[in-house]
Amino acid sequence: MAFPAGFGWGASTAAYQVEGGWDADGKGPSVWDTFTHQGGERVFQNQTGDVACGSYTLWEEDLKCIKQLGLTHYRFSLSWSRLLPDGTTGFINQKGIDYYNKIIDDLLTNGVIPIVTLYHFDLPQALEDKGGWLSEAIIESFDKYARFCFSMFGDRVKQWITINEPNILAIMAYDLGVFPPGVPHFGTGGYQAAHNLIKAHARSWHSYDSFFRKEQKGMVSLGIFAGWAEPADTNSVSDQEAAKRAIAFCLDFFAKPIFIDGDYPEVVKSQIAFMSKKQGYPSSRLPKFTEEEKRMIKGTADFFAVQYYTSRLVKYQENKKEVGFLQDVELQVFPDPSWKRLDWVYVVPWGIRKLLKYIKDTYNNPVIYITENGFPQGDPASLDDTQRWEYFRQTFQELFKAIQLDKVNLKLYCAWSLLDNFEWTRGYSSRFGLFHVDFEDPARPRVPYTSAKEYAKIIRNNGLKESL
């Protein structure tokens, strides 16, 4: 099962999850610094990313891991508040620029292509204080930050992700309030944030296109989280419709405006309008794009970056009056009892193939990058994660089928994650790393799991040894 020549094999991390050095060398606070320091058991055992993997001082150790695997690509994110402590270019932190310059230069020296995410959940606290993603002012702030990064690093970085998982951020941070700033706005905040996230992405893409592309010749997209949804009863029309809605509200909500026509899916607009009316709202809780905004948003991605972990069965469930993003979709999600489970991830490798085929058919056969996919290690005390590796292997078989049989234009796979790290509200209790990190040891030693050694063989062979 040799993958196409030139196929990219990578691994991903994110600044807040690995760097530590939360206030080192002039870095400003991010919303995750504030949120975790407030305590209140909103994160597992009140853990923080203050030190995390210590990558701010231990980058050389990360580089050793990258070289040990033989990665062709490494995806990491920039800490907005490490570069611009108050979120604006009014004060620029040179130490932050130096840190990321070193990472980029070291990767290129070692023949590894950097994929750089501008923003991975860690908004500068100074911007959150002005309304964060609920405020339209954030669009201009993000665009200025993006231009700053393109001008600083774009001579060497050719693959950019503007925003990581805007769909997850909008729901978790601004609808449910379980991510910072930690204030729920059920049924309204998620949509307002999503609206601004889409416009901010589009603005920054246009900035790249107008001012940097000609000289730098790079590509810009955003990383959308997507699971696969399968109707619980394949003979039930209401379950089939519910499964379509699940995909529309998760993936298409962001992908259709950006890749197709600048506007939300019809089913999303009609469903939220219907629920809003039922609940006595004078108009839909979903904001509208103007015609000018639609033109600005349409076509603002140079490749399709998707992040897949798991799938669910979906059943229709009527919602009478409850207000919330999840309630608007009118469905119930649950796993098949036969699916194996690791933490929150149910192992459904065939789901990724179905998702890739859906993207190919719906979005005009784009170049696709899988910028995250992975499984947590079931037993954190053991470096032998043979069972987890088996799930990776099954996933690679499905990717191979997607490329060979479905003719999906998949060019890159990035495992989440290079290292065990701070997994948001799960803290350090959930371990997705190819390398084990001992968070009790101040030196934060990185030791390869069995998966790391096996992944290195896949990369060396550009695929699996066995045939389909």
405/41 Cα distance (integer angstroms): 47
b/e for 145-172, b at 16 or more Cβ within 10 A? Answer: bbbbbbebbbeebebbbbbbbbbbbbbb
As given in the structure block, the two tokens for residue 447 are 């030791």
Give helix 59-69 / helix 450-461 axis angle, nearest 10°.
50
Query: 19, 61, 128, 165: which is the annotated catalytic residue?
Result: 165
Of 286, 221, 288, 284, the closest CA to residue 255 belongs to 221
Tell me how far apart the alpha carbons of residues 111 and 101 are, in angstroms, rounded to a whole number. 15
Nearest to 220 by CA among 289, 167, 142, 108: 142
Q: Backbone phi, then psi, for 12, in 5-degree steps?
A: -125, 155
Q: How far apart are CA 250 and CA 325, in angstroms?
A: 11
Is 423 catalytic? The answer is no
Dihedrals φ, ψ of 335, to 5°? Answer: -85, 160
> Residue 40 has which token pair?
């209140």
CB distance 426 to 44 below 8 Å = yes
CA distance 218 to 203: 16
Cβ atoms of 28 and 126 within 8 Å: the answer is yes
User: Which of 199, 194, 106, 118 lies closest to 154, judged by CA?
Assistant: 118
Whole-angstrom Cα distance, residue 40 to residue 339?
Answer: 34
Torsion 376-451-70-217 (CA) sign:
negative
Selecting among 19, 372, 398, 423, the annotated active-site residue is 372
What is the distance in angstroms between the CA of the first residue and the CA of the last residue of the chain? 7
Position 100, amino acid: Y
Neighbours of 264 (CB within 10 A): 26
In this structure, the number of other CB atoms found within 10 A of the CB of residue 52 comes to 26
Q: Which residues pair with 462 in a beta bridge?
A: none
Cβ burial of 87 (10 Å; 0-12, 13-18, 19+) is buried
Q: Is 19 a catalytic residue?
A: no
Q: What H or E segment, with its residue span, contains residue 465?
A: none
Strands (E), 294-383: 304-307, 311-316, 331-334, 341-342, 345-346, 368-372
Specify the amino acid at residue 36: T
Q: Which residues are catalytic?
A: 165, 372
